[in-house]
Chains A and B, each alone.
Chain A
Amino acid sequence: MSMRKLGRRQLLRALGGAGIGLPLLSSLGSGGARAQAVAAPKRLILMYTPNGVIHEGWWPTPGAADTEFTLNQIHQSLAPYQDRLILLKGVNNLVASTGLTGGPHQRGIGGLYTAQTLGQGTFVDGCGKTAGWANGISVDQEIAAVIGQSTALKSLELGVRALENDVQGRISYSGAGQPLPPMNQPLDVYNRLIMAPGFSVAPSDPLLAQRKSVLDAVGRQFDMLAAEVSTEDREKLESHHELLRDIERRMSAGTNGCTVVDQPPLLDPASETDMPLIAELEVDLLAMALACDLTRVASLQISTSLNRIRYPWVNSMGEGHALSHSFGSDADAAAQLVERGKWHCGLIARLCDRLSTIAEGDGSALDNTLLVYCSEISLGNSHSHTDMPFLLVGGGWHFRTGRYLELGGVSHSNLLVSLMNAMGLPAQTFGLPEHCTGPMVGLV
């Protein structure tokens, strides 16, 4: 991703008198007394792209030691960050491969970050199989419930053409059957972040005092109603009330002097033309949200599983799902899939670039970030859930990074436990217990 393009599209502007013309986002966090005073927070990002990957362009060439591997084509843009990567082969999505409800794409995406099977429902996949939502909370939300308490947003779900409101269109769940919708409009994301109390809204702003009074009054309405309704309804009201308390909590946060990216234009979340720009803007907004400590948990979902999206900006005019089925016999389809993969990894590289320019302690914000990437299936033409294309970036405070590991067939549920451990949760299991034996061996 070119710096020039970004510079033209969205010149940085500074709030609170910070200088203009600094390297991209370089003042983020550095001016925050808060960031200096306490240890930098740890952050987790889950990323997703659809329809598997083309293996010929994905798996690295192993070397004599697991640290001596040669990156494949798709990962070339991540070469500057090779010592921060962990590429995993031999990780299987067992909840998806053994689940009985739904089609392989549905089971794959529903189980990817929940390690759960799907409920019954009427969402139809491309082959006429039906399913409902995933049967449990996703790992990002499990983690956000613990580490997201002190930030403006407990978590941030971003989507790029992730518009399908069914099991094929959601990766994050706050509970069984409770998917969290991603935000697909950069301007909405911007407004949500910029209006976050403690960010651009100062504690002395009358709007905050007014909101606080309103939320107090609303809270009393909740309390009065809760006494009058059934136990089951009271629980639902209580979880809603808790979300209001989250908003209230944020209001006591002070401004941290962060710099923001320019306000993005209003774009069409369904448009093929706008898609690459939306992706770039969301990466930049994500970097801003993390660097400003507006959230510590996020997900970035590039479209939805089994979709037919074209990528003209990398000269891929085929339909995504069809390409993923035909690469075996069609060299052009294979080449297009490599280009798509390179673009996906380019977004990761862009995020790394942004975070690495933000000073934190003796290093950068990238040192305190862990990104996990995967797709809902491994290979398009077989719908395989074996050798899932897991890629970890960062997390060096917990994992031994800069490695390519061939694990020979372990459950991806174990990896999700390792993510929890990396984020400070002392978990031993996650998701369906029969597919989880504890943290993944060999990562730390």
Chain B
Amino acid sequence: MLGVAAVLALGCGDPELPKPPAGGSESLVCSEVTPGPSPLRPLTRDEYDRTIEDLLGDVSAPAQGFPPENEVLGFRNNAAANLANPLLVEGYMNAAEALAVSATSERLELVAPCPSGDQTACGRSFVRDLGTRAYRRPITEAEATSLDALFDAFLPISYVQAVQVTLTALLQSPQFLYRIDSWRAPTEQTGALLASRLSYLLTGSMPDAELFAAAAEGRLATAEEIELQARRLIETPRARDVMRSFHEQWLGLSLLDGVARIAEDVPAPAEGMADPVLVQSWRESFRRFVDHAVWNEGTVSALLTSPMMFVDQKLAPLYGESAPSEDFLGVERPDRRAGLLTQPALLALLAHSDQSAPVLRGVFVRERIMCIEIIPPPPTVNAVPPPVDPSATTRERFAQHTADPVCAGCHQLIDGLGFGFERYDQFGRYRTEENGLPVDESGEVVGTEDLELDGPYNGAIELANRLATSSRVRDCLATSFYRFAMGRTETDADQCSLDQVKQRFSDSHGAFNELLVAVTLSDAFRYRAAEGP
């Protein structure tokens, strides 16, 4: 176990022992600061592009051509899973070369101004100013001197060439490409590390000028000051991008690409099984819903129960809504929709091509929403969905799971959750009948070890309302967000920090901005474990 002596505060000044957050008399105080590991991690593609935009004013988003991140638990920023590979390193090189060319040809005044005309001196300033911003902490003199040598070697060709070549090197340096927390020695730079953590968590990009200044002036030393910065950053538009991204990763929405759903009454796309237009609309509709729940309503309860659904011209007729003239329109359907789990994108994702998927939906609610792990079926089970039968409902066909005692043990935990969504077909369209037979949407929550959750219910809307008040569900969301924030799964050392986050989230009755602030105030965020010499 790590002692306090082996823990470093990321704010400037003396390591401050954790204090209870202001106004929270019952808040959890950890007896010992154990922040858990903080391995380096590469910028994700989105972080890379946003950082480039902030650093160079270049919006070409070159990282979208990099190979995709390896996902762990749905998250694309997992430190352990994302190491360099040849294609990625070549992508870094090609991007750096192209960015340096466009920066020097289009924005030289912004990147490396030289009003004095003393090109060597301007080169020194460029390396130190841009280097510090690119590395998100003061560039060391050794690092800068090494880049100066590169600059000087190309200066005889031209100032532009020297800047371009040096910028190409900066953009391939690990100090730029990775988020690095594991410095061996505590230095005055540690305030910059906290600034970087704050900005990547809350804006998905490098610190802005105010945050850099706060770090440099030692203004990130107390919880109050960190909270002030966090609340400021939460108000920026980038925070919306981050929360969209979190929800998409948490819920596995990346799998929506290539999803194809078919039904007799829906015209099939002309080519292939997937309809990319529909997928795009589903995804955007989902993002709009997340924006609405997180920022307009602001609570986990709204996320799980809001009757809003967003439709465009493509989606509206499919879901029985009148089409908006342009863009997306939010419609309230309290009779049909209750929150996240009834969103078309998610219901279509959790379906088979030609029928709903009660098992996938049940597993999803249990694992992703309740954080209860399910033991996979034994390898001998050939779990192919039963063929569509026009004379029966999906539920009747899937009922074998619970009729067969071999399957029933696990499937009673799953199917009682999945059957509640039977009023939504493979497109997520609301239905009261299937094949002319009435749809039975009754279900039962079983074996959650949570008395608030267990018990029979009727339909997804009732289930959603029950989930919305559950502490298990709220804690699950907090845990998922914690994994996203830390870029790793939690360890034993994270227990107290995670409890701090859960409690703050709970005290705020599930307010999202309090969840974000809570993470920034947790020990795991403010401190790092120091490696011995």
A contact set with B: CB distance below 8 Å: 97, 99-104, 107, 121-124, 126-130, 132-133, 153-155, 157, 163-166, 174-175, 177-181, 183, 188, 192, 210-211, 213-218, 220-222, 224-225, 228-233, 236-237, 239-240, 243-244, 246-247, 270-273, 308-310, 319, 325, 382-383
Q: Are A101's CB and B40's CB within 8 A?
A: no
Assess whether B379 is interfacial by the CB under 8 Å rule.
yes
Residue of A with least CB distance to B359: A128
Q: For residue A225, which residues in chain B have a CB less than 8 angstroms away from its CB?
A: 173-175, 180
Q: For residue A213, which residues in chain B have a CB less than 8 angstroms away from its CB?
A: 150, 153-154, 165
B contact set with A: CB distance below 8 Å: 39-40, 65, 67-74, 80-81, 83-87, 89-90, 93, 140, 142-143, 146-147, 149-150, 153-154, 165-166, 168-169, 172-175, 178, 180, 182-185, 252, 254-255, 257-258, 260, 271-274, 276, 352-353, 357, 359-360, 363, 367, 376-377, 379, 382-385, 531
Q: For residue B182, which residues in chain A have a CB less than 8 angstroms away from its CB?
A: 229-230, 232-233
B383 to chain A, nearest CB (A): 4
Q: Are B84's CB and A239's CB within 8 A?
A: yes
Q: Are A236's CB and B89's CB within 8 A?
A: no
Q: Are A214's CB and B165's CB within 8 A?
A: yes
Q: Are A178's CB and B173's CB within 8 A?
A: no
| A382–B381 alpha-carbon span in the complex (Å) | 10
Residue of A with least CB distance to B167: A214
Q: Are A181's CB and B85's CB within 8 A?
A: yes
Q: Are B165's CB and A222's CB within 8 A?
A: no
Q: Are A217's CB and B150's CB within 8 A?
A: yes
Q: Which of A102, A133, A222, A243 contacts B86 (CB 8 A)?
A: A243
Q: Are B183's CB and A228's CB within 8 A?
A: yes
| A205–B255 alpha-carbon span in the complex (Å) | 44
| A155–B87 alpha-carbon span in the complex (Å) | 10
Q: For residue B184, which residues in chain A have a CB less than 8 angstroms away from its CB?
A: 228-230
B246 to chain A, nearest CB (A): 15
Q: Are A101's CB and B174's CB within 8 A?
A: no
Residue of A with least CB distance to B164: A210
The 10 closest A-B pairs by CB, nearest first: A127-B383, A240-B84, A181-B67, A230-B182, A221-B173, A272-B272, A217-B169, A217-B150, A243-B89, A220-B146
New A-B pairs, 17, CB < 8 Å, besides A126-B385, A240-B174, A243-B84? A103-B383, A122-B252, A124-B255, A128-B357, A181-B67, A210-B154, A217-B146, A222-B174, A225-B175, A228-B185, A229-B183, A233-B39, A236-B39, A272-B271, A310-B272, A382-B382, A383-B382
Q: For residue B165, which residues in chain A have a CB less than 8 angstroms away from its CB?
A: 210, 213-214
Question: Do A271 and B169 contact each other (CB < 8 Å), given the known contacts A122-B74, A130-B376, A319-B353?
Answer: no
Q: For residue B147, which residues in chain A have a CB less than 8 angstroms away from its CB?
A: 217, 221
Q: Are B174's CB and A308's CB within 8 A?
A: no
Question: Do A163 and B258 contact each other (CB < 8 Å), given the known contacts A236-B40, A308-B273, A308-B353?
Answer: yes
Q: For residue A174, which residues in chain B have a CB less than 8 angstroms away from its CB?
A: 85
B183 to chain A, nearest CB (A): 6
Q: Are A273's CB and B271's CB within 8 A?
A: yes
Q: For residue A181, which residues in chain B have a CB less than 8 angstroms away from its CB?
A: 67-68, 85, 87
Q: Are B150's CB and A122's CB within 8 A?
A: no
Q: Are B85's CB and A221's CB within 8 A?
A: no
| A122–B359 alpha-carbon span in the complex (Å) | 15
Q: Which of A178, A220, A383 contacts B85 (CB 8 A)?
A: A178
| A273–B383 alpha-carbon span in the complex (Å) | 32
Can you list 22 A-B pairs with a CB-CB distance of less than 8 A?
A: A124-B252, A128-B363, A132-B72, A154-B86, A155-B86, A166-B71, A177-B80, A177-B81, A178-B70, A178-B81, A213-B165, A217-B166, A221-B143, A221-B146, A225-B173, A228-B185, A230-B184, A230-B531, A232-B39, A236-B83, A244-B172, A246-B86
Residue of B with least CB distance to A153: B86
Residue of B with least CB distance to A144: B86
Q: Which of A129, A217, A309 contacts B376 (CB 8 A)?
A: A129
Q: For residue B174, which residues in chain A have a CB less than 8 angstroms away from its CB?
A: 221-222, 225, 237, 240
Q: For residue B357, which residues in chain A have a CB less than 8 angstroms away from its CB?
A: 128
Q: For residue A239, which residues in chain B have a CB less than 8 angstroms away from its CB?
A: 83-84
B37 to chain A, nearest CB (A): 8
Residue of B with least CB distance to A179: B70
A126 to chain B, nearest CB (A): 8
Q: Are B360's CB and A124's CB within 8 A?
A: yes
What DSSP secondary structure best describes chain B's contact surface?
A: loop
Question: Do A222 and B83 contact each other (CB < 8 Å), given the known contacts A217-B149, A233-B180, A233-B182?
Answer: no
B377 to chain A, nearest CB (A): 7
| A367–B103 alpha-carbon span in the complex (Å) | 49
Q: Which of B68, B146, B153, B260 contacts A308 (CB 8 A)?
A: B260
B67 to chain A, nearest CB (A): 4
| A233–B90 alpha-carbon span in the complex (Å) | 21
A142 to chain B, nearest CB (A): 15
B84 to chain A, nearest CB (A): 4
| A168–B140 alpha-carbon span in the complex (Å) | 44
B301 to chain A, nearest CB (A): 26
B85, B153, B357 interface centre (most CB from chain A within 10 Å): B85
| A256–B456 alpha-carbon span in the complex (Å) | 73
B382 to chain A, nearest CB (A): 7
Residue of B with least CB distance to A166: B71
A216 to chain B, nearest CB (A): 8
Question: Do A240 and B183 contact each other (CB < 8 Å), given the known contacts A133-B70, A213-B165?
Answer: no
Q: For residue B169, which residues in chain A have a CB less than 8 angstroms away from its CB?
A: 214, 217-218, 221
Q: For residue A154, which residues in chain B have a CB less than 8 angstroms away from its CB?
A: 86
| A155–B90 alpha-carbon span in the complex (Å) | 13
Q: Are A129's CB and B377's CB within 8 A?
A: yes
| A224–B143 alpha-carbon span in the complex (Å) | 7
Residue of A with least CB distance to B149: A217
Q: For residue A192, which residues in chain B have a CB less than 8 angstroms away from its CB?
A: 90
Q: Are B379's CB and A100's CB within 8 A?
A: yes
Residue of A with least CB distance to B66: A181
A280 to chain B, nearest CB (A): 19
| A225–B174 alpha-carbon span in the complex (Å) | 8
B484 to chain A, nearest CB (A): 13
| A270–B271 alpha-carbon span in the complex (Å) | 11
A180, A217, A243, A272 interface centre (most CB from chain B within 10 Å): A217
Q: Are A224's CB and B172's CB within 8 A?
A: no
| A123–B252 alpha-carbon span in the complex (Å) | 9
| A382–B382 alpha-carbon span in the complex (Å) | 8
| A100–B172 alpha-carbon span in the complex (Å) | 41
Residue of B with least CB distance to A240: B84
| A104–B383 alpha-carbon span in the complex (Å) | 10
Q: Are B383's CB and A214's CB within 8 A?
A: no
B82 to chain A, nearest CB (A): 9
A198 to chain B, nearest CB (A): 15
Q: For residue B385, which residues in chain A have a CB less than 8 angstroms away from its CB?
A: 126-127
| A210–B163 alpha-carbon span in the complex (Å) | 12
B261 to chain A, nearest CB (A): 11
| A123–B363 alpha-carbon span in the complex (Å) | 13
Q: Are A270's CB and B70's CB within 8 A?
A: no
B177 to chain A, nearest CB (A): 8
| A163–B272 alpha-carbon span in the complex (Å) | 15
A385 to chain B, nearest CB (A): 10
A377 to chain B, nearest CB (A): 12
Residue of B with least CB distance to A98: B379
B227 to chain A, nearest CB (A): 29
Q: For residue A218, which residues in chain B have a CB less than 8 angstroms away from its CB?
A: 169, 172-173
Q: For residue B272, which residues in chain A have a CB less than 8 angstroms away from its CB?
A: 271-273, 310
Question: Do A122 and B73 contact each other (CB < 8 Å), given the known contacts A217-B147, A236-B40?
Answer: yes
B188 to chain A, nearest CB (A): 14
Q: For residue A155, which residues in chain B have a CB less than 8 angstroms away from its CB?
A: 86
B388 to chain A, nearest CB (A): 11
B411 to chain A, nearest CB (A): 10
Q: For residue A222, which residues in chain B have a CB less than 8 angstroms away from its CB?
A: 173-174
Q: For residue A177, which residues in chain B have a CB less than 8 angstroms away from its CB?
A: 70, 80-81
| A319–B354 alpha-carbon span in the complex (Å) | 12
Q: Are B271's CB and A180's CB within 8 A?
A: no
B314 to chain A, nearest CB (A): 18
Q: For residue A308, which residues in chain B have a CB less than 8 angstroms away from its CB?
A: 260, 273, 353
